[in-house]
Chains A and B, each alone.
Chain A
Amino acid sequence: AQSVTQLGSHVSVSEGALVLLRCNYSSSVPPYLFWYVQYPNQGLQLLLKYTSAATLVKGINGFEAEFKKSETSFHLTKPSAHMSDAAEYFCAVSRNSGNTPLVFGKGTRLSVIA
């Protein structure tokens, strides 16, 4: 079975500060990993995905994540937070074959303080 654990249900950063959202995964097979963002009253938007190519993945809006197999982690970072980054962020895992469902973490709410 696959699962992800997001550490911290709520993270608060100052505008311009580093954003670090933590995700650890558990998978019996090589995983595909995703980060999604959800703005209030909206659907989920794909930020980036890891599909067994480069371990450092760059996504939209200046976000990136690094796949670390030894640590079973896929943390999301952004060098400088912007007010518009305030949202809910979800880490998700899937098997790397076929059309299999995503298994989501509980989410981390990011607040950005001016």
Chain B
Amino acid sequence: DAGVIQSPRHEVTEMGQEVTLRCKPISGHNSLFWYRQTMMRGLELLIYFNNNVPIDDSGMPEDRFSAKMPNASFSTLKIQPSEPRDSAVYFCASSSGVDYGYTFGSGTRLTVV
């Protein structure tokens, strides 16, 4: 298995632009989590899905952020419009149950200038 695949690995964009981050979970995993990592706030949960359904999006910082999971093999996190304070590393993780742990992708490093 190739693990959790995130793209792009790095994204540099100008303030005000739309940014879309992508995640392919491990096949067979029925939960998907989006986290954001910054020096100041550490690892924060943004949103998570069970069986493609959003369960808790209370961590999404603003309406500028949105996430979708149209099918079991793909999810997107969109920021529109982007702002410099959105600069962070965004991680996607998937799981087939807490007993089995969570597998993280390599992350997307977003820089908004």
B contacts with A: majority SS: strand
Q: Is the CB of B45 within 8 A of A99?
A: no
- Picked from B43, B48, B105, the residue with its CB within 8 Å of the CB of A90 is B43
- CB-nearest residue of chain B relative to A95? B98
**CA distance in complex: A105, B42 (Å):** 8
- Picked from B50, B98, B104, the residue with its CB within 8 Å of the CB of A44 is B104
The interface size bin for chain B is 20 to 34
Q: Is the CB of A43 within 8 A of B104?
A: yes
Minimum distance in angstroms from A48 CB to a CB of chain B: 9
- CB-nearest residue of chain A relative to B59? A101
Q: B75 contacts the other chain (Cβ, under 8 Å)?
A: no
Q: Is the CB of A43 within 8 A of B98?
A: no
**CA distance in complex: A36, B42 (Å):** 14
Give A94-114 interface residues, CB cut-off 8 Å to B: 94-107
- CB-nearest residue of chain A relative to B9? A41
List chain A residues, Cβ under 8 A from B93.
44, 102
Q: A49 contacts the other chain (Cβ, under 8 Å)?
A: yes
Q: Is the CB of B43 within 8 A of A99?
A: no
Q: Is the CB of B97 within 8 A of A99?
A: yes
Q: Is the CB of B101 within 8 A of A43?
A: no
Q: Is the CB of A102 within 8 A of B102?
A: yes
List chain B residues, Cβ under 8 A from A99.
30-31, 48, 50, 95-98
Minimum distance in angstroms from B58 CB to a CB of chain A: 11
Minimum distance in angstroms from B109 CB to a CB of chain A: 8
List chain A residues, Cβ under 8 A from B99.
32, 51
List chain B residues, Cβ under 8 A from A105.
42
List chain B residues, Cβ under 8 A from A49.
101
Minimum distance in angstroms from A35 CB to a CB of chain B: 11
A–B pairs, 16, beta carbons within 8 Å: A43-B107, A46-B101, A46-B102, A46-B103, A94-B98, A96-B98, A97-B98, A98-B97, A98-B98, A99-B30, A100-B98, A101-B33, A101-B56, A102-B102, A104-B43, A105-B42
